[in-house]
Amino acid sequence: MKLRNIEINNKIGEEVTLFGWVNSRRDMGKIAFIDLRDRSGIVQVVLVPSELNEESQAIIKDIRPEFVLEITGVVNERGEKQKNPNIPIGNVELLAKSVKILSQSETPPFEIDNEDRQAGEELRLKYRYLDLRHERMTRNMQFRSDAMLFIRNYLHEQNFIEMHTPILSKSTPEGARDYLVPSRKFPGKFFALPQSPQQYKQMLMVAGMERYFQIAPCFRDEDARADRSPGEFYQVDMEMSFVSQDDIMELAEDMFTKLVKTLLPEKELTFDKWPRITYAEAMEKYGSDKPDLRKDKNNPNELAFCWIVDFPLFTEQTEDDYFHGAGDKWAPSHHMFTAPREEDIPLLDTDPGKVRGLQHDMVLNGVEAGGGSIRIHSPELQEKIFNLIGFTEEDKKEFEHMLTAFKYGVPPHGGIAPGFDRLVSLLMGESSIREVIAFPLTSDARDLMVEAPSIVSDEQLNAVGIEIKKT
């Protein structure tokens, strides 16, 4: 097994073999220094010709940045003046005995060792495998992985079961456009990629799973916004049976507080107990349902979480709403499965605009980090909501499986789905969520590395019964 660079910190005096990329090289007369990078950190390698075997001496002059090397040498403590406590491998260096070039590199299209002179985003995404070599990007990917593991462990300890729901699925009403996948077996019919596992997770509650979670890929064909990635993103999708709204908020609050305290001890939480603010109060006091409650907005380490509750169940429909039917007035504020507050149910018949929903939004530093709700679990109430948002009998048929399932003993249930990429980017202090996704799409939804979307062959189109319209 390869020794990780960082592991030489406690191997002073030993001979070791390291593998990695040339981050940079410096020539000082006869002696050369190579900064050898692997995922764990950068080691300073000292190349003194008299210490090297003959073959190695001959190739030293050829070595350039991003070559992949195998270096055997002795770990030495650095002189007191050369020690650098600010880097992970700052007290030791490797005196090379033999150097082997495992692969060569052309000059990269941008500098890897210089974060300050970062290339434009298009170039970075085209050569993402090089961009990810940057220390900052590697750190972001490592934190993403650590956060994922923390969440998994936490939820497993709380008796959640981790399950996968289908990717080839059916249109889900989260309010965006679907990505469609044509069916070959049933020409003219389509799968939709899930905008979220909403309906499946509710079905898992009917199935008696009681506590489910999944770090779930979600697909939404919508235009990019600063805090959204077009195309696909991940949610920490959770659903629980026999819970109150308080239970859901307490669980999420405890999990993310512990995550921050464990993984990012340098961060400062503005509130130990996250404030719960009603939608009405937030709008009146802050003019926003995503208030930024940081005490010092210039402090990069401050994290101000809060909850927003008591949203109106409906908003007035606009032309852009996914739900509109002729002359329909109401669109769900969250989604159509959110339960109204018990005491507001009578208002559904008289003044639907006044009904408050059991929705909870998790807000961090002025950004919506996730939303959820207590769900409707009565088929009659669900049908009433369908009617209010203008569903025809045909529309309702699309959700018949839910209305049917609800007839067979459905537990009261609810959940939440914090946006995983979004939280990771906020916690890492990144302004764009693309900085914490390994291979994100561009803001206009293209993958520049593999060049997707792409044209497919006539044969493939024929197989799924599709003809492209000539424009």
- Residues forming the site for ligand ASP (CB under 6 A): 174, 196, 198, 371-373, 415-417
C-alpha dist (Å) from residue 113 to 117, 345, 422: 9, 61, 27
Q: Where would I find the H helices in 347-414? A: 347-350, 379-388, 393-397, 400-405
CA angle 424, 430, 433 (to 5 degrees): 60
Nearest approach in angstroms of CB 236 to ligand ASP is 10
| Of residues 73 and 371, the one with the C-beta less far from ligand ASP | 371
248 neighbors 254 (Cβ within 8 angstroms)? no
| Of residues 47 and 426, the one with the C-beta less far from ligand ASP | 426
| Of residues 191 and 213, the one with the C-beta less far from ligand ASP | 213
| Of residues 174 and 253, the one with the C-beta less far from ligand ASP | 174
311 neighbors 333 (Cβ within 8 angstroms)? yes
| Residue that has been written with the tokens 């972001």 in this structure | 140
Mutual orientation of helices 135-157 and 420-427 as an angle, nearest 10°? 120
Nearest approach in angstroms of CB 100 to ligand ASP is 51
Nearest approach in angstroms of CB 189 to ligand ASP is 25
Beta strands 68-77; 180-182: pairing state: unpaired
| Of residues 229 and 373, the one with the C-beta less far from ligand ASP | 373
Nearest approach in angstroms of CB 338 to ligand ASP is 7
Nearest approach in angstroms of CB 373 to ligand ASP is 5
| Of residues 42 and 355, the one with the C-beta less far from ligand ASP | 355
Nearest approach in angstroms of CB 351 to ligand ASP is 25
Q: Which of 227, 228, 230, 247 is nearest to 239 (CA)?
A: 247
Spatial separation of the C-alpha atoms in residues 221 and 177, rounded to whole Å:
5
| Of residues 371 and 390, the one with the C-beta less far from ligand ASP | 371
434 neighbors 392 (Cβ within 8 angstroms)? no
CA angle 417, 419, 424 (to 5 degrees): 140
Nearest approach in angstroms of CB 201 to ligand ASP is 7
The 8-class DSSP code of residue 402 comes to H
